[in-house]
Amino acid sequence: MTTHFWIALAAIFGVLGALQVALDWAVVSRRFGKYRVRTPGPDYLGPQNKWLNVSLNNVLALSILGGFLLRFGPDVLYPQWPGAAHLLGEVLAVLLLYDFGYYLYHRGMHHPKVMKYVHGVHHKVRFPVASESVFLNPLEQMGAFALLLGAVLLLGPISEASFLLMFFLYSAINIIVHSNLVFPHPAFRLFNFWVEKHDAHHDKFRYNYASIFPFWDQAFGTFK
């Protein structure tokens, strides 16, 4: 993998961190707080428990990603620019395969026994904000990354550029859907769609298991 790849990956982490901080600030600000979907009750998570869980899951995610890239990166990523159409095709293929797997995985996580010991950790957050997108049982974090990186292994090799764009979209959407904010401007229509569908999931639990594309839920009758 090229030096430019690692520099671009570091820049992506910087942008994602800034996005998370900005959305966390907006949801409690006077200017943008009025656009939040729901106002939470008392914080029953406890700030120390929350930040410890989030920090450890971020470290876990970085470790898994770094290990994957060092072990498999040279085999599944190629450095050449693939062209715009090929880039889009590779990104969509990986995200579609991932999201189908995640739909099944996420729905399975709602089995009562799994919900109690694994996915229930995330659902302690009834009205999430961006930083709580990774408030998870570590086993759930590992499973989600296995699906994403497994899709790359199955469909690869893909270009380094495709991997970077795919990873940015995957991470940014995960932050956005937990932001608890909807904005009235038409430019935010897709942003708002993701937020509202995931809010319905956190509220009702039985709907909207897919992470990115709504048609998996539409196909299996769990779209709301």
* CA-closest candidate to residue 63, choices 75, 74, 71: 71
Q: Give the burial class of 209: count Cβ atoms within 10 A of its Cβ; 0-12 exposed, 13-18 middle, 19 or more buried.
A: buried
Q: How confident is the model at residue 118 (pLDDT cuts 50, 70, 90)?
A: confident
Radius of gyration, alpha carbons of the chain:
17
* Stretch 208-223: mean pLDDT: 90
For residue range 54-84, what is the model confidence (pLDDT) as tens digits?
Answer: 888 889 999 999 999 999 999 999 999 999 9
Q: What average pLDDT does the chain have?
A: 89
pLDDT at site 146: 94
Residues 97, 152: Cα–Cα separation, whole Å = 9
Q: Residue 2's pLDDT band (boundaries 50, 70, 90)? A: confident
CB 167 within 8 Å of CB 69: no
Rounded CA separation 106/8 (Å): 30
Mean pLDDT across 135-148: 90
pLDDT score at 43 = 52
pLDDT greater than 80 at residue 98: yes
pLDDT at 111: 86
pLDDT score for 20: 93
Tell me if 223 sits within 8 A of 198, measured CB to CB: no
pLDDT above 60: residue 206: yes
pLDDT of residue 39: 72
pLDDT score, position 17: 94
Q: Where are the domains of the chain?
A: 3-34+45-196
Which pLDDT band, with edges at 50, 70 and 90, does 121 fall under? confident
Question: Would you state the torsion angle of the CA atoms of residues 61, 67, 70, 72, taken in this order, to the nearest 10 degrees?
Answer: -100
pTM of the predicted protein model: 0.91
d(C-alpha 170, C-alpha 151), whole Å: 13
**What are the residues whose beta carbons fall under 8 Å from the beta carbon of 105, sequence distance 6 or more?**
143, 144, 147
Read off the pLDDT of each residue in 204-222 and give the average, rounded to a whole number.
88
pLDDT at 77: 96
| Token pair belonging to 142 | 């590992």
CA dihedral 101, 219, 88, 150 (to 10 degrees): 10
Query: Given pLDDT bands bounded at 50, 70 and 90, which one contains residue 46?
Result: low
Strands (E), the chain: 77-78, 158-159
User: Cα torsion for 82, 83, 86, 89, to the nearest 10°?
Assistant: 110
